[in-house]
Structure 1
């Protein structure tokens, strides 16, 4: 882990692209962008097995960084599984607590809280990768894992 800390301290916020074993270091966090497509729960299981979790987006800077790295939709760590319409991050923060929301705001406005659309994805189609969309948790998608650099 010492190598990761040294590596992280050697670059600036603009160069958040240094990769170590597939993980990209940026602003005190490591990100892993999957090439596999899994449902939301299986995606989360993979992240947890790697000592991480699905990404919780907490700033415009982080959102912009993630968007710059994807070319198609990816699962993120946000869901409404417990209570319909009540979105909670995998770290148990509500969107009010995180202070950020990047839901797609044009038609169809998101989240539209369909009965089966209880998990959140970054991007929907190539033209709208910079927004969040609610989706069926059973649909296979790429995913983004996140963990802190310690």
Structure 2
């Protein structure tokens, strides 16, 4: 017959055996300074920028204010690859982006409201009245890119 002390010792040794097994084969953890860990929670990183795809709807100006509250702005596009990335991730939504223009003026990437405002529609960029309620995409440089710039 086994004594209680012997059973407890075996369970304790078994527990340490499992712990030592994990210690000898540690899981790969992303270090905090790596590029994969540079965007805030719920943001998606791509080529040095972080993107937040809103679930809410607002007019263009309110969308820009929401992005500003996160230290970001409505998304701007630097490359066709970036446009393709955003098109894939926006899903069926038609979100605001940062491109806008005053009537009769060229398109520009601003930080204000009014005028005609751009949004992503299917596989292209379209425009509508800025008071229309839409989802939006915020963007900002990721932390890793910020450290390399400064």
Scaled to the shorter chain, the TM-score interval is: 0.5 to 0.7
In the alignment, which residue of structure 2 is the partner of 1:108?
A: none
Q: Which runs of 5+ in 1 are unaligned?
A: 10-17, 93-115, 124-128
Q: Which has the higher contact order (CA 8 A, sep 6+)?
A: 1
In the alignment, which residue of structure 2 is the partner of 1:118?
A: 116
TM (norm. structure 1) is: 0.66
In the alignment, which residue of structure 2 is the partner of 1:47?
A: 67
Mark the structure with the bigger radius of gyration: 2
In the alignment, which residue of structure 2 is the partner of 1:63?
A: 83
> How much does 1:40 deviate?
0.1
Task: Give the SS at the match of 1:86.
Answer: coil
Q: Which has the higher strand share?
A: 1
In the alignment, which residue of structure 1 is the partner of 2:100?
A: 79
For the residues of structure 1 that align with 2:101 and 2:39, how far apart are their CA atoms? 32
Instruction: Return the match for 1:143 from 136, 139, 145.
Output: 136
For the residues of structure 2 that align with 1:87 and 1:66, how far apart are their CA atoms? 19
In the alignment, which residue of structure 2 is the partner of 1:106?
A: none
Give matches, 1:93-108, under 5 Å: none
1:6 equivalent to 2:34? Answer yes
Deviations 1:62-91 (A, max 9, x none): 00000001122000001113x524111127
For the residues of structure 1 that align with 2:42 and 2:124, how far apart are their CA atoms? 25
- Alignment RMSD (CA, Å): 2.5
For the residues of structure 2 that align with 1:141 and 1:91, how far apart are their CA atoms? 18
> How much does 1:7 deviate?
3.9
> How much does 1:58 deviate?
1.2
For the residues of structure 1 that align with 2:76 and 2:48, how far apart are their CA atoms? 14
- Shift in CA distance, 29/130, structure 1 to aligned 2, threshold 3 Å: same
In the alignment, which residue of structure 1 is the partner of 2:127?
A: 134
Q: Which has the higher helix share?
A: 2
TM (norm. structure 2) is: 0.66
